[in-house]
Amino acid sequence: MNETTPRCPDCDQPLEVLKACGAVDYFCATHGLISKKRVNFVPSGSQQNNHKK
Ligand SMILES: [Zn+2]
């Protein structure tokens, strides 16, 4: 199993995953809905460094 964590391409925050009927939406608290093709999927197995700018 290869789990990933969706992250915002703009602010690198973990995205909230909203599952509607058949569709999945990704929501950033700062940027709102993020199109799935723009989402950064980061392998959750690797260590996550939170770089705050
Ligand atoms: Zn964002």
Q: Within 10 Å of residue 5's Cβ, how many Cβ atoms? A: 16
Q: What is the pLDDT of residue 52?
A: 58
Confirm whether 51 is domain-assigned: no
- Report the SS3 class of residue 22: coil
Whether 44 maps to a domain, the answer reads: no
Output the CA 34–ligand 1 centroid distance in Å: 8
User: Residue 33: which domain range?
Assistant: 4-39
CB within 5 A of ion ligand 1: which residues?
A: 8, 10-11, 28, 30-31
Is residue 15 in a domain? Answer: yes
Q: Count the residues in the chain.
A: 53
CA of 22 to the centre of ligand 1 (A): 24
- Per-residue model confidence as pLDDT tens digits over 1-52: 678 999 999 999 999 999 989 989 999 999 999 999 999 999 987 655 556 5
pLDDT of residue 35: 93
Q: Into how many domains does the chain fold?
A: 1
- Which CATH number belongs to the domain containing residue 27 in this structure? 2.10.290.10
What one-character DSSP code corresponds to residue 36? Answer: G
Q: Indicate the pTM of the whole model.
A: 0.71
CB-based burial, 25-53: b 16+ in 10 Å, e otherwise? ebebeeeeebeeeebeeeeeeeeeeeeee
